[in-house]
């Protein structure tokens, strides 16, 4: 794990410019890398590294700007400030930094296979958990397209951390012919930090993890990491985090009783972009988040079936079976007026359904000293007479599938996946019919 500054060296003859990085204004430099490295890497140690990617060939940036700094038209581009121009190699060496400096040759990237080669080269330069500082000022135009996807890939494969992405906006001063006439003390180009723009991808990934997989951890991390947020907005974000945490916890442990409808948070309306522009992604994601947060109800059976549908939609079959079976058990407990939070009452549901279908004899479950069961079993059986036999059979089938899957048995997976969605829908229809009766 190390800090690494990655930069792409171009082929142009660069004018001397002063760069403003936050509140710091650099001395006049020809290469933006000089200003960035001096500002970012001054305290780095020998394990850290500055990596300059430069193109090969007679017209490549290695010959033009890495090895020397003299151009035929250099007189027009600042000779008065540097009588003996040096290439970036010597410029970086002159800074006397402790960290390593390495130039890495790359192809031009004109052909698709060359672009993939550049990606491969970048990947080879990164180790696990490196912290990356990236400069794209003089990169080819396709490099900014590569960087976001490359960072996402490296986060997944090597656990890298992104510190910052920088762009020296030299063109903000005008065209070179105009800029060379600007006095050097006034020739100040801003360095834009584009890190927040990349964070849109992180917000999207975090929201997707929550909406598709029920994992709110990354979304909460994004909210916690968001900076420059006023107190009013931060106070609003806390209940949003609490709602995400509760649903995350409920889905993680298959606990339907913990699934509750979130308070009407109105995310989009409460985020004021003029005050918190870095929450743009969260504001725009809010309709999807609100739809997800508000879909839950205070009805345990309804929530269980909804959770089962959600799991099925997102290929979490075993979890879907668990939610469905538990919702069905709660439904029967409600019919029998049994306590659905009582473990013994829930276990007895399976007996009653089997007895109602003639798969077990009532006498086998007589007494055993359980006065509650003896007093209620006949009433429960009478109520099951009004339940469609197909629903009772479906319940036992789902229970059997759940036991098969949860005990690591294979079973007929093709049959399960084919039949379960219609069983779930049929049972949902029964619930809706019961509520509307």
Residue pLDDT tens, the chain, 437 long: 899 999 999 988 888 899 999 999 999 998 999 999 999 999 999 999 999 999 998 888 999 899 876 665 544 555 556 767 789 999 999 999 999 999 999 998 778 888 899 999 999 999 999 999 999 998 777 787 888 889 999 999 999 999 999 999 998 998 888 888 888 889 999 999 998 888 888 999 999 999 888 899 999 999 988 878 888 888 888 888 988 998 888 888 888 788 877 777 788 888 888 888 889 999 999 898 888 888 888 888 988 999 999 899 888 899 999 999 999 999 999 999 999 889 889 988 998 999 999 887 776 655 455 678 778 888 888 999 989 999 999 999 999 999 898 887 888 889 989 999 999 999 888 876 655 54
H or E element that contains 64 = none
Alpha helices in 107-163 (DSSP H): 112-124, 143-158
CA angle 71–73–74, rounded 5-degree value: 60
Alpha carbon distance 159, 165 (integer Å): 17
- pTM attached to this predicted model: 0.75
Strands 131-135 and 18-21: unpaired
Q: What are phi and psi of 61, to 5 degrees?
A: -75, -15
Contact 14, 35 (CB under 8 A): no
Look at residues 57, 45, 41 and name the one whose alpha carbon lies nearest to residue 6: 41
Domain boundaries, the chain: 3-193, 200-294, 315-436
Tell me the three state secondary structure of residue 422. Answer: helix
- Domain spanning 3-193, CATH architecture: 3-Layer(aba) Sandwich (3.40)
Q: At what angle do helices 413-436 and 317-336 cross, to 10 degrees?
A: 40
């Amino acid at each position: 794990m190390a800090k690494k500054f990655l930069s792409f060296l171009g082929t142009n003859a660069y004018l001397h410019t002063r760069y403003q990085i936050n509140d710091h204004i650099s001395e006049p430099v020809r290469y933006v890398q000089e200003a960035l490295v001096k500002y970012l890497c001054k305290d780095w140690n020998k394990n850290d590294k500055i990596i300059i990617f430069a193109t090969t060939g007679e017209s490549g940036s290695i010959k033009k700007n890495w090895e020397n700094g003299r151009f035929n038209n250099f007189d027009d581009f600042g000779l008065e400030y540097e009588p003996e121009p040096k290439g970036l190699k010597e410029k970086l060496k002159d800074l006397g930094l402790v960290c390593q400096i390495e130039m890495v040759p790359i192809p031009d990237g004109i052909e698709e296979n060359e672009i993939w080669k550049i990606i491969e080269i970048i990947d080879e330069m990164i180790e696990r958990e490196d912290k990356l500082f990236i400069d794209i000022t003089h990169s080819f135009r396709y490099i900014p397209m590569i960087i976001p996807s490359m960072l996402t890939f490296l986060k997944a494969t090597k656990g890298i951390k992104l510190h910052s992405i920088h762009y020296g906006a030299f063109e903000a001063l005008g065209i070179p012919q105009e800029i060379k006439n600007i006095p050097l003390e006034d020739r100040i180009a801003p360095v834009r930090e584009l890190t927040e723009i990349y964070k849109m991808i992180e917000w999207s990934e975090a929201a997707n993890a929550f909406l598709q997989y029920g994992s709110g951890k990354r979304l909460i991390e994004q909210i916690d990491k968001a900076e420059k947020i006023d107190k009013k907005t931060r106070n609003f974000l806390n209940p949003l985090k609490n709602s995400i945490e509760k649903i995350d916890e409920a889905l993680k442990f298959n606990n339907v009783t913990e699934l509750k409808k979130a308070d009407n948070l109105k995310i989009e309306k409460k985020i004021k972009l003029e005050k918190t522009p870095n929450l743009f992604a969260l504001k725009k994601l809010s309709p999807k988040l609100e739809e997800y947060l508000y879909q839950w109800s205070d009805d345990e059976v309804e929530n269980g079936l909804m959770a089962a549908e959600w799991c099925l939609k997102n290929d979490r079959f075993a979890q879907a079976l668990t939610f469905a079976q538990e919702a069905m058990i709660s439904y029967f407990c409600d019919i029998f007026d049994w306590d659905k939070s009582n473990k013994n009452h829930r276990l007895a549901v399976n007996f009653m359904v089997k007895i109602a279908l003639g798969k077990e004899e009532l006498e086998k479950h007589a007494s055993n000293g359980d006065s509650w069961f003896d007093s209620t079993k006949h009433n429960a059986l009478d109520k099951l007479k009004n339940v469609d036999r197909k629903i009772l059979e479906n319940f036992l089938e789902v229970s059997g599938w759940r036991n098969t899957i949860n005990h690591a048995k294979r079973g007929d997976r093709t049959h399960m996946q084919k039949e379960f969605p219609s069983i779930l829908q049929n049972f949902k229809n029964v619930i809706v019919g019961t509520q509307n009766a």
